[in-house]
Amino acid sequence: MKLHASGEDYLETILVLQKKLGMVRSVDVARHMEVSKPSVCHVVATLRDGGFLTMDSDYFLHLTEIKAYGIRYLRVIFIGSLFVNFTQSANMVMRGEGLMKKAMMIMGLGALLNIILDPILMTVMGEYAIEGAALATITAQFVQAVVTLHYFLKKSKVVKIHKIKSDEEIKKEMFGVGSSAMMMQLLFMIQQTMLYKMAFKYGGDPNGILMAASLRVYAFSFIPLWGMSQGLQPVVGTNFGAKQYDRVRQAMKVFSIGGLVLAAVFWIPSLLLSSQILSLFGVEASIITQGVGNFRLFYSVFILYGVMVMSITFFQSIGNGKKAGIIVMLRQLFLFVPAMILLPMVFGVKAVWFTQPLVDFIMIVVGIFMMLGELNKMSKEKVQV
C-alpha cells in the first residue's frame, strides 16, 4: 500500500480518494493509493533525520533546562514519525471508505494505550523517565500502524496492496490538494510567532502572558470545528466525484450552519465568562482585569470560523487546492503579516489584538463568495448536462 504521510499534508490522499470513489472503479481508487508512499516516506525520513541533526540548535527551544528535556524526548519520539504518519494517512483512507467507527476505534486504541504505558514506562525507566514517556508514545503508534496495516492487508475491499509504482498525474493532483493543508500548518506557526512577539513588544509581559492563554483557548475551540470538517470531506468529495451537485450544495448548507452553531457553543461562553476561562490557564487576576477586553476583541470573530473552515475544506474536497491555498495564503501571510507589522505602529498594543479578527473577517467574506461562486458553477454545469 502506498499512502501519503507528511503530517497534516496526509489530507490530500483522502481527498483524492473520496473523489475517485464517486467517479471510478475500486481498481482506479487503489491506483491513487499506490503512488505516494515512496516519495513521501523520503520526505518524512528526511524530516525525522533532520530532527536528530538539528536537535541541538536553538531553533526549537531557547530555555536551557526545558531544552535539555526537549532534546531527550524528541530524539526518541522522532523514531516513531514513520509509524504515526502512516497511521494518520491510512486512517483517513478508512474514513474515505465510510468506516468512520473503525477509524475512530483505531485512533482511540493508540491514545488509550499511550495513557496506560506512560506512567508505567516512566516509573520503570527511573532517571530516563523522559525517554520512557516518548517510548510509550512510539509503542502506541506502532500498535496503531500494525492494526491499520492488517486491515488493508486482509480486509479492505477498496484499497489493495500492489507493487510500488509512480504515477506523475496522480502525484501532481495529490500534492496540489495537500499543499494548502501543509501551508496552513506552516503559516499558523508564523502567525503565532508574530502574535507572541508583538504582544510582548507593544504590551510587555502582561500582554504576552494573556496572548499565550488566549491562543490556548483559541486552539481548544478550533478542535471541534476541524473535527466537523473531517465529516464534510467524504460527503463533498464522493458526491462531487459522482456529479451529485445537489448533494454537495446541501452538504455545504448543513455543515456551514452546523459549523456556525458549533462555533457559537464556544464563542458565547468565552465572551460571557472570559475572566473565569482565562483563570483556568493560570493567568493572574490582575492581568485578566486589565486585558479581558483585549481577549474578547481577539475572540470576537470566532463565531464565523466554522464557515471559514468549511469553505477551505470544500475546496480541498473537490480537488481545487489552488483556491484553498489562496484563502490560506491571504489569511495567514499576505494580509496578516503586513497588517501585524504596520497596524501596531499606528494604534499601539490594541492593534495586536484586533489585527487577526479583522483579517479573518475579510477572508471569511472572501471565502464565502468564492465558495458560492463554485457552487453556482456546479448548478450551471448540471443544467447544461
* Residue range 278-322, pLDDT digits in tens: 999 888 999 999 999 999 999 999 999 999 999 988 988 887 877
Helix 168-241 vs helix 305-317: crossing angle, to nearest 10: 120
3-state secondary structure the chain: CCCCCCHHHHHHHHHHHHHHHHHCCHHHHHHHCCCCHHHHHHHHHHHHHHHHHHCCCCCCCCCHHHHHHHHHHHHHHHHHHHHHHHHHHHHHHHHHCCCHHHHHHHHHHHHHHHHHHHHHHHHHCHHHHHHHHHHHHHHHHHHHHHHHHHHHHHCCCCCCCCCCCCCHHHHHHHHHHHHHHHHHHHHHHHHHHHHHHHHHHHHHHHHHHHHHHHHHHHHHHHHHHHHHHHHHHHHHHHHHHCCCHHHHHHHHHHHHHHHHHHHHHHHHHHHHCHHHHHHCCCCCHHHHHHHHHHHHHHCCCHHHHHHHHHHHHHHHHCCCHHHHHHHHHHHHHHCHHHHHHHHHHHHCHHHHHHHHHHHHHHHHHHHHHHHHHHHHHHHHHHHHC
pLDDT of residue 207 exceeding 90: yes
Q: Are residues 356 and 230 in the same domain?
A: yes
Convert the pLDDT of each residue in 141-191 to its tens digit.
999 999 998 888 888 877 776 666 777 777 776 776 667 667 777 788 888
Residue with cell 457559537: 264
Would you say 7 and 135 are in contact if contact means Cβ atoms under 8 Å apart? no
pLDDT of residue 10 exceeding 50: no
* pLDDT (mean) for 133-148: 93
pLDDT of residue 37 exceeding 70: no
Per-residue model confidence (pLDDT) at position 38? 45
Final residue in a domain of this structure, among 150, 166, 182: 166
Query: pLDDT band at 227, cuts 50/70/90?
Result: confident
Per-residue model confidence (pLDDT) at position 314? 92
Tell me if 1 is assigned to some domain.
Answer: no
Tell me if 149 is assigned to some domain.
Answer: yes
% the chain with pLDDT above 90: 42
* pLDDT (mean) for 51-63: 46
Which amino acid, one-letter code, is at 66? I
Q: Are residues 204 and 102 in the same domain?
A: no
Would you say 87 and 8 are in contact if contact means Cβ atoms under 8 Å apart? no
Instruction: Say which residues have a Cβ less than 8 Å from residue 316's Cβ, sequence separation at least 6.
Output: 11, 12, 15, 177, 180, 181, 233, 324
Q: Are residues 251 and 373 in the same domain?
A: yes
Q: Are residues 140 and 247 in the same domain?
A: no
Quote the pTM value. 0.69
Q: Are residues 195 and 144 in the same domain?
A: no
Per-residue model confidence (pLDDT) at position 66? 64
Tell me if 206 is assigned to some domain.
Answer: yes
pLDDT of residue 140 exceeding 50: yes
Tell me if 245 is assigned to some domain.
Answer: yes
Q: Are residues 153 and 182 in the same domain?
A: no
Q: Are residues 20 and 139 in the same domain?
A: yes
Q: What is the grid cell recorded at 328?
A: 490560506
pLDDT of residue 217 exceeding 60: yes
Instruction: Say which residues have a Cβ less than 8 Å from residue 323's Cβ, sequence separation at least 6.
Output: 315, 370, 374
Q: Are residues 108 and 90 in the same domain?
A: yes
Selected residue with higher pLDDT from 257 and 316:
257
Question: Based on the structure, what is the number of domains in the chain?
Answer: 2
Q: What is the grid cell recorded at 88?
A: 494518520
Q: What is the grid cell recorded at 112?
A: 488509550
pLDDT of residue 137 exceeding 70: yes
Instruction: Say which residues have a Cβ less than 8 Å from residue 6's Cβ, sequence separation at least 6.
Output: 40, 43, 44, 85, 178, 182
pLDDT of residue 39 exceeding 50: no
Per-residue model confidence (pLDDT) at position 181? 67
Q: Are residues 127 and 230 in the same domain?
A: no
Cα dihedral 322/323/325/326 (nearest 10): 120
Selected residue with higher pLDDT from 101 and 382:
101
* pLDDT (mean) for 228-241: 86
Query: pLDDT band at 40, cuts 50/70/90?
Result: very low
Q: Are residues 218 and 345 in the same domain?
A: yes
Query: pLDDT band at 263, cuts 50/70/90?
Result: very high
Alpha-carbon distance of 3 to 20, in angstroms, equals 15
Final residue in a domain of this structure, among 166, 196, 228: 166
Per-residue model confidence (pLDDT) at position 176? 66
Q: Are residues 12 and 84 in the same domain?
A: yes
Alpha-carbon distance of 314 to 69, in angstroms, equals 41
% the chain with pLDDT above 70: 78
Per-residue model confidence (pLDDT) at position 190? 85
Tell me if 120 is assigned to some domain.
Answer: yes
Tell me if 2 is assigned to some domain.
Answer: no
Q: Are residues 88 and 230 in the same domain?
A: no
Per-residue model confidence (pLDDT) at position 382? 62
Per-residue model confidence (pLDDT) at position 56? 47
* pLDDT (mean) for 23-33: 46
How does the average pLDDT of the chain come out, rounded?
80
Alpha-carbon distance of 23 to 325, in angstroms, equals 24
Selected residue with higher pLDDT from 29 and 307:
307
Give first-to-last CA distance, the chain, whole Å. Answer: 37
Alpha-carbon distance of 97 to 91, in angstroms, equals 10
Q: Which domain holds residue 80?
A: 7-166
Selected residue with higher pLDDT from 64 and 106:
106
pLDDT of residue 54 exceeding 50: no
Selected residue with higher pLDDT from 81 and 195:
195
